[in-house]
Amino acid sequence: MKEGLIGDVKMLTANFGFNLGWEPDHRLLDKKLGGGALLDAGIYPISFASMVFGQQPSRISSNAYIGETGVDERFSALFEYEGGQTALLSAGVQLGTSHDAFIYGTKGYIQLTSFLFGRSATLHIPNEEPAHFEKKLMTHGYIFEAEEAMKCLREGLKESPIMPINETLEIMQTLDKLRAQWGLVY
């Protein structure tokens, strides 16, 4: 993206969903514990869109299925940005989805298979062979977050330059806007 290989980025799609199964006492289906797709699975595609576009959406259209326990079991959202870009995002805890993301530009697109783990990407440029990139990473839970926190502590930083506090707060405001559209209150 930085090299402009796909041109101006105009749109992205990202999905992350899994089928927990019907366990109404599980924390992901418990409204008192902040359960639901948005806060558990949805944060990943939403944070991904924030990373790619470097801003929060100016307009949000969304829908959610509120299940029997009162939490959002799945949702989909269309984010629109000041520069005319869009993001189509979905997540679920009662529905398995692909975990892929696509970043579309004016000259091509990037496919990220299982984007949460960042192990591989394929660059698609018209009339060229797809270029596949792979990085062998050990991923176990939140290892990257823990490593970054330790790096910041060692360097005396009060926040991470990779994920500044303001971006975290802005993403939470976006989550609040989604919940407001659905009438979901914890």
Q: How far apart are CA 156 and CA 121, in angstroms?
A: 34
Query: For residue 15, what pLDDT is reported?
Result: 96
Q: Which of 23, 33, 30, 26 is nearest to 69 (CA)?
A: 30
Number of domains in the chain: 1
Query: For residue 130, what pLDDT is reported?
Result: 96
Query: For residue 138, what pLDDT is reported?
Result: 67
> 3 in a domain, yes or no?
no
Domain ranges, residue 74: 9-182
- Name 4's Cβ contacts closer than 8 Å, sequence gap at least 6: 107
> 129 in a domain, yes or no?
yes
Q: What global pTM score does this model have? A: 0.92
> 131 in a domain, yes or no?
yes
Q: What is the CATH number of the domain that holds 115?
A: 3.30.360.10
**At 35, is the secondary structure helix, strand, or coil?**
coil
Please name the amino acid found at residue 163.
M
pLDDT tens sequence for the chain (186 residues): 889 999 999 999 999 999 999 999 999 999 999 999 999 999 999 999 999 999 999 999 999 999 999 999 999 999 999 999 999 999 999 999 999 999 999 999 999 998 988 788 999 999 999 999 998 766 666 788 888 999 999 999 999 999 899 999 999 999 999 999 999 998
Query: For residue 139, what pLDDT is reported?
Result: 65
